[in-house]
């Protein structure tokens, strides 16, 4: 089971580094603010985007089948995968069909979710993540800490050290341009050798059968154009009905994600180049289960911009890895419990429910309300920690009875006023670890009122 508080505590041990992490992501949030404020129609766009996604989800099967029909007509191979295992085998089958051993990959959280890399590596296939951040964390053998900025938890000096070991850059060099050039040279080799290129999918357009991939580095294009086989992997929720709908989302994605007006590359893949092969794999992996739950299905509207992470005051101060799920932060905390409630039962509680995530979300997912609802689900499934559950039962009893409540309040205030500090501030008092308790007043408001107002209304 994931324990977010514990992982966050470890992250916070280095306060300066936490401040740096917080500031780096806040900077992205501010860039986003500047970008969206240039569009007076921003809120209307959000509403439109949310409704397009909502309408699509309500007839998802229809749109997916239309997409499949169009893609097949374009000469694309379309595959359906029920779960991660299905998906991984499907990818392997395509690779094996071409006797390939070298694969490049770009822009796919879905392959992270399905743990495609370790699966293919076990089968003797080299998979190289080609996006800079992804490559960095692949070298480090760790998961991404952010869905758009996968290596945001690392400082340039650490990347310099890593590249010195992995790519032979100069020891102590940490100039970002120098390091990026070194990575480019290394990746160019990989692109030239690759037989198969895998990409994620940002949007799949049902009426044309095209898949659209939005990138800043252009690696999806490099991979696809160099290799003889291209595989695009998409979750079932990526489909949108029309090309016209795409215009709404491409205006929002980059602005929300990084504060750019649009991603550097918006690549449309419609059909294979003659002599080459194009595959699309449509993956469920638990998504239809979410679709069945009315209070949570909005989470499938997510376009993976990462804005909720950048704005989340908890995420910024606990780091993406503290969530222990493929997708971290607020959106991850409502997606992960849907896939494995027991494992991720702690995540809906890793939030102060401030609601900034819902406000920033370009497709208006009610993230903080879903966090609240997931808390109820955790409790209903009897997965709350025993201590918490008992405490709440006792509190509910006390607060249902006015005289019990007043008596407990009085005793608490008196004890707080009279007990020696050592007895109040100890390891049992979690509040007191970093904060003082309020100074107890002599009387409660209730007592004051009884003494000071005569015409009491009951």
Partner 1 sequence: MNHFKVTIGLFIPCYIDQFYPQVGIATLELLEKLGLDVGYPLLQTCCGQPMANSGCEKKAVKVYQKFVKNFSSFDYVVSPSGSCVYHVREHYNILEQTEQVKKVRQSTFELCEFLLDILKVDDLQIHFPHKVGIHQSCHGLRGLKIGTGSELVTKKQSKIHSLLAKAEGLEIVELDREDECCGFGGIFSIFHPDVSVKMGKDRVADHERHWAEYITATDMSCLMHLEGIIRRQNRPVKVKHIAEILNTARR
- Identify the residue among 34, 43, 276, 415 touching partner 1 (CB under 8 A): 43
CB of 24 to partner 1, least distance (A): 14
Q: Concatenated DSSP letters for 272-325?
A: PPTT-EEEEEEE-TTHHHHHT-TTTGGGGG-----HHHHH-HHHHHH-GGGG-S
Using CB under 8 A as the binding rule, the residues of this chain from 300 to 319 that contact partner 1 are 311, 313-314, 317-318
Task: CB nearer to partner 1: give 138 or 351.
Answer: 351
Asked if 197 and 223 touch (Cβ cutoff 8 Å), the reply is yes
What distance in Å separates the CA atoms of residue 363 and residue 130, rounded to the nearest whole number? 28
Confirm or reject binding of residue 47 to partner 1 (CB under 8 A): no
- Asked whether position 352 contacts partner 1 by CB under 8 A, the answer is yes
Does residue 2 bind partner 1 (CB under 8 A)?
A: no
Nearer to partner 1, 112 or 346 (CB): 346
Helix 386-399 with 402-418: angle, nearest 10 deg: 110
Told to check if 375 binds partner 1 by CB under 8 A, we report yes
Interface segment toward partner 1; rule CB under 8 A; list 48-56, 180-188, 193-201, 442-450 = 442-450
| Residue 18 or 243 with smaller CB distance to partner 1 | 18
Q: Between 316 and 345, how does the x/- string for binding to partner 1 read (CB under 8 A)?
A: -xx---------------------------
When binding is defined by CB under 8 A, the residue of 22, 86, 123, 126 that contacts partner 1 is: 22
The span from the CA of 54 to the CA of 355, in Å, is 21
Residue 68 near residue 78 (C-beta atoms within 8 A): yes
CB of 10 to partner 1, least distance (A): 9
Is the Cβ of residue 171 or residue 396 nearer to partner 1 in the bound state?
A: 396
Shortest distance, CB of residue 350 to partner 1, whole angstroms? 7
Give me the 220-259 binding string for partner 1, x by CB under 8 A, dash otherwise: ----------------------------------------
Say if residues 81 and 283 touch (Cβ distance below 8 Å): yes
Nearer to partner 1, 171 or 458 (CB): 458
Integer Cα distance of 242 and 236 in angstroms: 16
Segments of 321-432 assigned E as strands: none
Q: Report the residue from 17, 26, 60, 126 that binds partner 1 according to the rule CB under 8 A.
A: 26
- Binders of partner 1 among residues 399 to 438 (CB under 8 A) are 399-402, 405, 409, 412-413, 430-431, 433-438
Supply the minimum distance, in Å, between the C-beta of residue 286 and partner 1.
Answer: 22
Q: Are 235 and 283 in contact (CB under 8 A)?
A: yes
Nearer to partner 1, 242 or 413 (CB): 413
- Closest distance to partner 1 from the beta carbon of 423 (Å): 18
Report d(CA 416, CA 424) in Å as an integer.
Answer: 7
* Both structure tokens of 225: 């154009």
Closest to partner 1 by CB, 30 vs 73, is: 30
The smaller minimum CB distance to partner 1, of residues 171 and 433, is found at: 433
Using CB under 8 A, which of 122, 393, 418, 419 touches partner 1? Answer: 393
Q: Is 353 in the site for partner 1 (CB under 8 A)?
A: yes
Only segment of 158-166, 259-267, 286-294, 371-379 that touches partner 1 (CB under 8 A): 371-379
Which DSSP string do the residues of 220-266 spell out, in sequence order?
A: HHHHHHHSSEEEEEEEGGGEES-HHHHHHHHHHHHHHHTS-SS-SEE
Q: How many CB atoms lie within 10 A of CB 292?
A: 9
- Strand 239-240: give its sheet, edge to edge: 239-240, 203-205, 210-215, 265-269
Q: Which stretch binds partner 1 (CB under 8 A): 164-172, 186-194, 198-206, 398-406?
A: 398-406
Of 271 and 375, the one with the shorter C-beta distance to partner 1 is: 375
- Interface size with partner 1, residues (CB under 8 A): 78
Beta-carbon contacts of 209 under 8 Å, excluding residues fewer than 6 positions away, are: 67, 68, 69, 70, 71, 72, 73, 74, 76, 270
Q: Based on CB atoms, which residue is closest to partner 1, 13 or 292?
A: 13
Subset of residues 69 to 88 that bind partner 1, contact rule: CB under 8 A: none
E-strand stretches of 66-215: 77-81, 102-106, 126-129, 196-200, 203-205, 210-215
CA 192 – CA 179 distance, rounded (Å): 20
Instruction: Show contacts of 134-139: CB within 8 Å, 24+ apart.
Output: 134/105, 134/106, 135/183, 135/187, 136/162, 139/166
Q: Could you tell me the smallest distance in angstroms from the CB atom of residue 156 to partner 1?
A: 24
């Amino acid at each position: 089971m994931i324990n977010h508080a514990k992982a966050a505590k470890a992250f916070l041990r280095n306060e300066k580094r936490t401040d740096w992490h917080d500031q780096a992501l806040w900077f992205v949030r501010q860039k986003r603010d500047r970008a969206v404020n240039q569009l007076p129609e921003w809120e209307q766009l959000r509403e439109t985007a949310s409704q397009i996604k909502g309408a699509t989800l309500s007839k998802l099967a229809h749109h997916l089948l239309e997409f499949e029909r169009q893609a097949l007509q374009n000469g694309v191979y379309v595959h359906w995968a029920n779960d991660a295992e299905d998906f991984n085998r499907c990818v392997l089958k395509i690779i094996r069909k071409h006797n390939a051993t070298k694969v490049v990959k770009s822009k796919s959280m879905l392959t992270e979710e399905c743990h495609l890399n370790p699966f293919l590596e076990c089968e003797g296939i080299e998979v190289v993540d080609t996006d800079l951040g992804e490559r960095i964390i692949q070298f480090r053998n760790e998961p991404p800490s952010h869905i758009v900025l996968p290596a945001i938890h690392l400082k340039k000096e650490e990347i310099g050290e890593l590249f010195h070991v992995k790519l032979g850059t100069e020891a102590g060099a940490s100039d970002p341009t120098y390091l990026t050039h070194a990575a480019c040279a290394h990746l160019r080799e990989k692109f030239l050798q690759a037989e198969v290129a895998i990409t994620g999918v940002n949007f799949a357009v049902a009426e044309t059968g095209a898949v659209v991939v939005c990138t800043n580095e252009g690696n999806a294009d490099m991979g696809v154009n160099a290799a003889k086989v291209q595989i695009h992997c998409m979750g079932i929720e990526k489909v949108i009905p029309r090309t016209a709908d795409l215009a709404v989302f491409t205006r929002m994605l980059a602005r929300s994600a990084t504060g750019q007006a649009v991603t550097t590359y918006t690549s449309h893949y419609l059909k294979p180049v003659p002599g080459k092969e194009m595959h699309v794999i449509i993956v469920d992996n638990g998504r239809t289960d979410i679709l069945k739950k009315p209070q949570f299905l909005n989470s499938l509207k997510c376009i993976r911009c990462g804005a909720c992470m950048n704005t989340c005051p908890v995420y910024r101060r606990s780091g993406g890895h503290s969530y222990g799920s493929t997708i971290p932060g607020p959106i991850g905390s409502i997606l992960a419990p849907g896939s494995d409630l027991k494992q991720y039962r702690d995540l809906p509680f890793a939030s102060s429910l401030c609601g900034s995530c819902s406000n920033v979300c370009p497709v208006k997912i009610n993230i903080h309300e879903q966090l609240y609802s997931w808390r109820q689900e955790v409790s209903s499934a009897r997965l709350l920690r025993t201590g918490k559950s008992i405490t709440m039962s006792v509190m509910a009893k006390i607060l249902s009875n006015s005289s019990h409540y007043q008596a407990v309040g009085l005793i608490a205030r008196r004890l707080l006023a009279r007990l020696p500090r050592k007895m109040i501030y100890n390891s049992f008092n979690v509040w007191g670890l970093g904060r003082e308790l309020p100074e107890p007043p002599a009387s409660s408001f209730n007592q004051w009122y009884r003494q000071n107002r005569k015409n009491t209304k009951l």
